[in-house]
Amino acid sequence: MRTLRLAALLALAGCNVESTDTPSGGVDVVGDELCPAGAVAVLSDYQSTQIALLDREGLVLSPSFASSGALEASSVAAPFSGDVIAPSNRIVGPEVALLDRFGTNVLTWIDTRTARVRAQLPVGTDFESNPYDYLELSPSKAYVARFGENAGATDDPYSLGGDVLIVDPSEPAITGVIALPRESDQPPRPLSITPFGETALVVLQRLSLDFKSQGPSEIVAIDTATDEIIWQLVLDGLLSCGRVMLSPSGDTMALGCTGRIDPDGNLADPEGSAIVLLDASSVPPRELRRISVYDALGFSAQPEIEWATDTLMLGKTQTPFFGAGNNQLFALELEDDSFRVLAEAGTNDDGTGKGIVFGSLLCTPGCSDVCLLADQEQSTVRRFSIGDDLAELPATSLGADKGLPPVDLGTF
């Protein structure tokens, strides 16, 4: 998926653009145990990066909170690379965590009030670990999902990859590693971490070292007190599934599963794609049903989905480069499994599709009435009202003057 995002964004943004070196500083707002203070927007052309902070409704609080051009190099790493993401889980407190991924493999903590880097921690352990997600359990304990796999691994347990690192954010330091279950020549490839009660749910994508073969996605539950795996659930037949998403009530889990795609984004087999719903009250979760996005819209779903209400979900289609059809944002009504297209990307000059131009989605039901969408094509964060039948609100412009469109969204 990273390769597809990179190619699409380079086509949109061009080459060698520099992020702004004029920082806009921190913000004096914090969230609470239930609700975030706002959204973290990552703007990038995959060569340089800028971070903006938005409020919960998607309006700008700090347009250049941090950037490649303003962040000073440390003893740990150079300023941000072009492959930075906000974790899917926020830190409760006045801090933002950012994952600098392939080629850098560094976790950075920034104070939201001062916009100063508090600490950085390398999580590569001498190979391309490609960290994909971060979950802070307490001020002194957190998990890092490492998607990368080390073909030259030694007996050192930190050298293999495809695992979950245990880190102490207060030091910061690596304090342990959780090995994930392996299947023949298809390493685990952990993609995401979701807190659920006293467990952390890790989704495995099971891709071979050469990315040519793939197994069914799997959910692994880690007991956060003992760091032991307590159950596993294989999602038979479903490939490239995203993060476990809990409904606002907590009764239902959902995952978006794209299926097997080639480097141009073409779907190999629709049977491997679906949105799958699970009963969160059973252990392990019991599958309720699968909903085919392909049958309704002609394309599979991207792995990222969001709950707007207990019966309404948002997602994006997986559309190929230079093919028929355009990237779409859709709403799925679970009461009758009906689909509605909320937004559609434009075409290339020759009428072909641009592939993936819609970046991250973010909904925080119960905390905000607005769902957000990072639109790389328009360099905006688009805004949709949950209470007004997902009517589109005026968009928030970000990064167009520097050629750095928004690609990723998180919370703080």
Number of Cβ within a 10 Å radius of residue 247: 19
CATH of the domain at 137: 2.130.10.10
Q: Which residues sit opposite 340 in a β-bridge?
A: 331
**DSSP-assigned letter for residue 92:** S
pTM: 0.92
d(CA 255, CA 237): 14
Total structural domains within the chain: 1
d(CA 140, CA 143): 11
**pLDDT tens digits, the chain, 412 residues: what are they?**
443 443 343 333 333 334 445 789 999 999 999 999 999 999 999 889 999 999 999 999 999 999 987 666 566 666 688 899 999 999 989 999 999 998 899 999 999 999 999 999 999 999 999 999 999 999 999 999 999 999 999 999 999 999 999 999 999 999 999 999 998 789 999 999 999 999 999 999 999 999 889 999 999 999 999 999 999 999 999 999 999 999 999 999 999 999 999 888 889 999 999 999 999 999 999 999 999 999 999 999 999 999 999 999 999 999 998 888 999 999 999 999 999 999 999 999 999 989 999 999 999 999 999 999 999 999 999 999 999 999 999 999 998 888 899 999 999 9
d(CA 325, CA 319): 7
Q: What angle do CA 16, 355, 267 make, to 5 degrees?
A: 135
Task: Of 2, 94, 88, 75, give the one whose Cα is nearest residue 44.
Answer: 2
Task: Give the structural domain span for 298.
Answer: 2-411
Q: State which H helix or E strand residue 346 sits in.
A: none
DSSP 154-177: -S-TTSSEEEEEEEETTTTEEEEE
Residues 381, 384, 385, 386, Cα dihedral to 10°: -120
DSSP 55-68: ETTS-EEEEEEEET
